[in-house]
Structure 1
Amino acid sequence: MVMPTVASAAAAALHQAVSTRRLGVGSGNASAAPGGFLAGGRRPAAAGLVRARVAEAAPVAAEGSRQDAPAAPMVEIPVTCYQILGVTEKAEKDEIVKAAMELKIAGIEDGYTAEVSTFRQALLVDVRDKLLFEQDYAGSIKEKVPPRSSLHIPWSWLPAALCVLQEVGEEKLVLEIGQAALRCSDSKPYVHDILLAMALAECSIAKACFEKSKVSLGFEALARAQYLLRRKPSLEKMPLLEQIEESLEELAPACTLELLSLPQTPENSERRRGAIAALCELLRQGLDVESSCRVHDWPCFLGQVMNKLLATEIMDLLSWDTLATTRKNKRSLESQSQRVVVDFNCLYVAMLAHLAFGFSTRQTELIKKAKTICECLVASESTDLKFEESFCSYLLGEETGTTVFEKLQQLQSNGSSNSKNYGLDKKKDSSDKVTVNQSLELWLKDVALSRFADTKDCLPSLVRFLNLL
């Protein structure tokens, strides 16, 4: 079976991806892949890639005479005989014979119907003989005659052809020919084997991606393989599908991180949405006391994720104020389960996201939620967030700037990293509104607004914000 190899490569890639991100090292080699995070999309086939040619039935014979059976339906596939055997067009005759023999004696993957093995042998003999004895198929390098670029075979041989092409590493051809074939009515008896060949091709693509540490591309290839196998009930009970799903579950955290690390460009938007959907599902599983989840180090994983999200994306992940309220009851099962997944730092970043986006869009409801999160963290963690809570109250018109500034000075005197360089010396006149605003605006800009890509360009003008309320 192919999947033990894929699964082991996936596990190695997962370990490497998580390890490098813990060290703060990006992969740097991820690239966009065809199709959306966790959608089952597949490559479009070129028009006319596979042309079914059904021979006409023999005319009705005269009465009393013998009638030949109708000719078998034929299909034309855009491959050379060299590609079937996995050799170059410069291959000598002995290389051709050797390649055909090695493929003939090699076993095929589990799951194919019995006919595929039989027709595979016939195909290999036919292709070998065409290259040895028919110049039309072999071509001639000396005479600059290219080999024939397509092959006519019976429809019953098509799964065998896809099987061999997958074995020799022609995954792209397998997927393109398979997709085109599935659109033809003549493929109906062979759908099981065609889908299996395509799924195995996707598994081979996934394995190659994992070996290059391209976790997200490998994940997407496995997801496409999963989709293909689920299209046919006869394939759903295969061990291959179970192994794919286990690998997908194991790889989901690393894949999510890699996809969220991609540049935020229009071409990556669909993949980013898929990654966020996967993240939401991981969080749902992690916070459900009755569910199991493959994230082994939630604080590390979620901390890295939060650093890659927009403020709006963070706010949409969870109902953070409700989560913070639940956290206050330290003895409840929900509170204890939550602490394994969402630590103080994640809730603090969520609070900053509400504060930053609420300020930039002048939505006081978001600032109220930020204040609620602060209050709950103070109650549940015994942490000093008096300044942040007071700042939210100031934006809501419930406290004066002078009061907030004094709390910022207190933080600075206590050596808090969140107040470094933002508070002024106590000898300064805290009644000077210009001085107070400048200090508070500097904290707002550096700690909250600049943290998120969708709020970093917002001007931290407190006067303008308060005047527009």
Structure 2
Amino acid sequence: MELLKHLIGLGNDWFACSAQVLGAEPHFLSDGVRRAFEARAAKPPQYGYTTDTLVGRRQILQIAHDTLTNQSSRTEYDRALSEDRDAALTLDVAWDKVPGVLCALQEAGEAQAVLAIGGHLLEDRPPKRFKQDVVLAMALAYVDLSRDAMAASPPDVIRCCEVLERALKLLQEDGAINLAPGLLSQIDETLEDITPRCVLELLALPLDEKHQNEHQEGLRGVRNILWSVGRGGIGTVGGGFSREAYMNEAFLQMTSAEQMDFFSKTPNSIPPEWFEIYSVALANVAQAIVSKRPELIMVADDLFEQLQKFNIGSQYAYDNEMDLALERALCSLLVGDISNCRIWLAIDNESSPHRDPKIVEFIVNNSSIDHQENDLLPGLCKLLETWLVSEVFPRSRDTRGMQFTLGDYYDDPKVLSYLEMMEGGGASHLATAAAIAKLGAQATAALGTVKSSAIQAFNKIFPLIEQLDRSAMENPNVGLEESVNKFDQKTIMGFDIRDSKNAALKIVAASALFALMTVIGLKYLPRNKVLPAIGSEHESMTVANVVDSVDDDAPDEPIQIPRMDANLAEGIVRKWQSIKSKAFGSDHSVESLQAVLDGNMLKVWRDRAAEIERKGWFWDYTLSDVAIDSITVSLDGRRATVEATIEEAGQLTDATDPRNNDLYDTKYTTRYEMTFTGPGGWKITEGAVLKSS
């Protein structure tokens, strides 16, 4: 292609290009060419080119028609090819006709030519209207390339996203948005739908230097997606993923260290759900084995302990007190605490709720009983290595399929040093490690040699993980009923289990009713009418800000904090509704607000109540029902986020001007931020209406 002042040469076979521009074939007879021309001319472009460009397009179609229907021009073309091929393959186009040419070329499928020519033109900073048409043609060319990418086998999703993002950027930055708002919307919707899959493919690229940038882009993409769809898997990710399903897919393409890093950096406004905590606990186990860092086993055990306190639902086969006992037992074994391991598995206590006869049978079948203290150690080791190979290592990219022996882990100097520090209280961690290492090949087979029969037996005795993986399909929004008890937060070799900004590990607690309502797809519906002053809580509430850290100094004397649960939360909400009736009623008891409100919530509602009193208005509220949907509690137990559904009616009365009188009867879901204020008890500090009907 040549670009000379106001002439542009199209480096293409113009004779063949003429046929392509018309949607015809070079061998078509005149009637066929004419029909192709009329069909193309009668169907203008879908998007908003300027009139000048549409005229130019029509002219280029006419030139193509004339070229193909004129026999003498065909003869002349063949002669020119033999004499001066370069000149014959070039058509000079006047500068002001170039956008029309680009439009026609784009319709003809010459996307690369459009992008090459358009790119050169934009470098010269052409006039605005000219530029907009060029940009539009280029954007459509990128869309064509995206279709080609998706039509490939297999579909090239990364390439599709790449060219669509270029098209979007071109339209947004170069002023063609108003010409094609529909195109912009379609690109946006397509990107929203395919970006999650694109991110997964970026993550799946090889972990080598060549693909390092793409892999990092994938990690950023996962954060952008999962940190924007909302908590608890309630929101859906583009492409039809639930939040849980997408996180599981992404984690499979991430290393154990990357999973831990993702968890530690998740904003505190997105409390982790049980499936995320469980996955990260396994990632800590995997990383502990890979890096010979048994301190990470303790982190994993802490996380399992938190999950063990939750009532994760009756759809699981095990009772809640039995759940995760196996994980905790094997974590104990990984730090050489065989006594605690036996306690969790209830090997010596047939009446314990933790005892599973199938697990005990598995251990016995893989041990040689000689009536010694550690006669079950080979079976415990087989249980541990089978758990690692079938459940832990496959979940992280860096450990999937790796070769490993328990002896390598227990005989490592770093591991032995850590176990030595743990000695005491009757637990002989080093002795256990030495015994396991001594078992050698009998108890520490390489991962690749673990027999399928052992794994099958393991799956029969431990179906919980499989059930957890199915939960996204069966009941994706079942929450956790109890809050998280505080555990020792520590930074270990660069991995924060919630850094100082995220000190409060929060777990969403959703009632079964709320989960069901979410599953069937309730939408957030706005009010149709805004009532004067404060119809209900819709106008006055501000969006809640989740507390990022817990830095308050510890009190001199311990204070017994009432545990936040559904009953306490409902009592506070009802108290607030009652006091609201007094503050905005005919008595205007504004000062009563401080009995249940604090912080910004108190300021906002005190100002509103004063305004109502000044205007001579008053509200009469009737509370029909309060249902607590979810509770999130901070680690220190001093802060909570409560979501509740409220049915309420209200009647506004203006004694001086009845025209201001109004009433409503509504049901709405609201979020309250509550804080324990010491002697004042629990108070509401922030609030926001989430949806109403």
Q: So what's the TM-score if we normalise by structure 1? A: 0.68
Aligned with residue 324 of structure 2, among 367, 382, 385: 385
The equivalent residue for 2:631 is none
Shift in alpha-carbon separation, 1:151–1:368, aligned structure 2, 3 A: farther
Partner of 2:8: 75
Structure 1, unaligned runs of 5 or more? 1-49, 55-72, 327-332
Amino acid at match of 1:129: D
Q: More displaced, 150-159 or 80-89? A: 80-89
How many Å apart are 1:118 and its aligned residue?
1.0
Correspondence 1:247 to 2:196:
no
**How far apart, CA to CA, are the structure 2 residues paired with 1:447 and 1:157?**
65
Match of 2:653 in 1: none
* Deviation of 1:200 (Å): 0.9
1:201 maps to 141
> Is 1:169 aligned to 2:84, yes or no?
no
**CA deviation vs aligned residue, 1:272-314 (integer Å, no higher than 9, x gap):** 433332221221123359x965455333333333333322332
1:228-243 → structure 2 map (5 Å cutoff): 228-235=170-177, 238-243=181-186
List aligned pairs for 1:302-313, cutoff 5 A.
Answer: 302-313=247-258
Letter in 1 for 2:391: V
Task: Tell me, in whole angstroms, the C-alpha distance in 1 between the residues paired with 2:79 and 2:373.
Answer: 91
Equivalent AA in structure 2 for residue 314 of structure 1:
Q
1:53 maps onto 2:4 in alignment: yes
Q: What do residues 371-392 of structure 1 show as CA deviations (whole Å, max 9, x unaligned)? A: 2211111112435223423443
**Matched residues in 1 for 2:235 and 2:279: separation?**
25
CA–CA separation in structure 1 for the residues paired with 2:364 and 2:167: 54
Residue 264 of structure 1 deviates from its aligned partner by 5.2
State the distance in 2 between where 1:422 and 1:265 align.
Answer: 44
| Letter matched to residue 165 of structure 2 | A
Name the SS for the 1:286 alignment partner.
coil
Q: Which residue of 2 aligns with 1:112?
A: 49
- Whether the aligned pair in 1 keeps the contact of 2:57 and 2:104 (CA below 8 Å) is yes
CA–CA distance in 1 between the matches of 2:329 and 2:249?
Answer: 28
Q: Which amino acid aligns with 1:123?
A: I
Distance 1:375 1:451 in 2: 20
> Take 2:117 and 2:73, find their aligned partners in 1: how far apart are those partners?
24
- Is 1:285 the counterpart of 2:236? The answer is no
Q: Secondary structure at the match of 2:9?
A: strand
Q: Return the structure number with greater relative CO, CA threshold 8 A, min gap 6.
A: 1
> What CA distance in whole angstroms lies between the structure 1 residues aligned with 2:359 and 2:127?
70
AA aligned to 1:102 is A
Q: 1:305 to 1:176 in 2, by over 3 A?
A: same
CA distance in 2, matches of 1:421, 1:171: 65
Using a 3 Å threshold, how does the CA distance of structure 1 residues 273 and 431 change in structure 2: closer, same or farther? same
Q: Which amino acid aligns with 2:398?
A: D
Q: Displacement, 1:144?
A: 11
Q: State the 1:111 CA deviation.
A: 2.0
Offset at residue 119 of structure 1 (A): 1.1
- Amino acid corresponding to residue 249 of structure 1 in structure 2: E
Change (3 A) 1:387 1:183: same
- 1:183 to 1:106, Cα distance in 2 relative to 1, 3 A: same
In structure 2, the partner of 1:41 is none
For the Cα contact (< 8 Å) 2:37–2:61, is it kept in 1?
Answer: yes
- 1:24 alignment partner in structure 2: none
Deviation at 1:191, TM superposition (A): 1.9
Cα separation, 2, equivalents of 1:222 and 1:416? 53
SS at match of 1:214: coil
Return the alpha-carbon distance in structure 2 between the equivalents of residues 459 and 149 of structure 1.
69
Deviation (angstroms), 1:225: 1.8
Larger Rg over CA atoms:
2
Any conservation in 2 of the 1:310–1:453 contact (CA below 8 Å)? yes
* Contact 2:237/2:243 (<8 A) preserved: no
How big is the shift at 1:167?
0.9
Q: Distance in 2 between matches of 1:122 and 1:246?
A: 35
Provide the residue aligned with 1:464 in structure 2. Answer: 411
Counterpart of 1:178 (choices 104, 112, 118) is 118
Conserved in 2, the CA contact under 8 Å of 1:257 and 1:305? Answer: yes
Report the Cα offset of residue 197 of structure 1. 0.7
CA distance 1:450–1:258, change in 2 (3 Å): closer
- 1:447 maps to what in 2? 391
Distance between the aligned counterparts of 1:51 and 1:281, measured in 2? 43
3-state SS of 1:242 partner: helix
2:617 aligned residue: none
- Tell me the equivalent position of 1:225: 167
Q: In the TM superposition, what whole-angstrom CA distance separates every residue of 1:81-106 from its partner, at most 9, and x where no partner exists?
A: 22244144445555444433332222
95-104 or 119-128: bigger deviation = 95-104
Change (3 A) 1:314 1:437: same
Aligned residue in 2 for 1:318:
263
Higher helix share: 1
Higher mean C-alpha deviation, range 408-417 or range 91-100? 408-417
Separation of aligned partners in 1, 2:231 and 2:96: 50
Letter in 1 for 2:3: A
CA contact (8 A) 1:353 1:452 kept: yes
Q: Which amino acid aligns with 1:312?
A: A
SS for the counterpart of 1:164 is helix
Q: Which residue of 1 aligns with 2:495?
A: none
Bigger strand share? 2
The percentage of aligned residue pairs carrying the same residue is 22
**Which residues in structure 2 correspond to 1:369-384 (within 5 Å)?**
369-380=299-310, 381=312, 382=320, 384=323
For 2:244, the equivalent position in structure 1 comes to: 299
Look up the SS of the partner of 2:227 in the other structure.
Answer: helix
Q: Which runs of 5+ in 2 are unaligned?
A: 313-319, 348-353, 419-693
Report how many aligned residue pairs link the two structures: 384
- Indicate how the Cα distance of structure 1 residues 124 and 77 shifts in structure 2: closer, same or farther if over 3 A, else same: same
Deviations 1:323-363 (A, max 9, x none): 9xx9xxxxxx966xx5xxx453x432221111111221134
Alignment counterpart, residue 291 of structure 2, candidates 350, 353, 361: 361
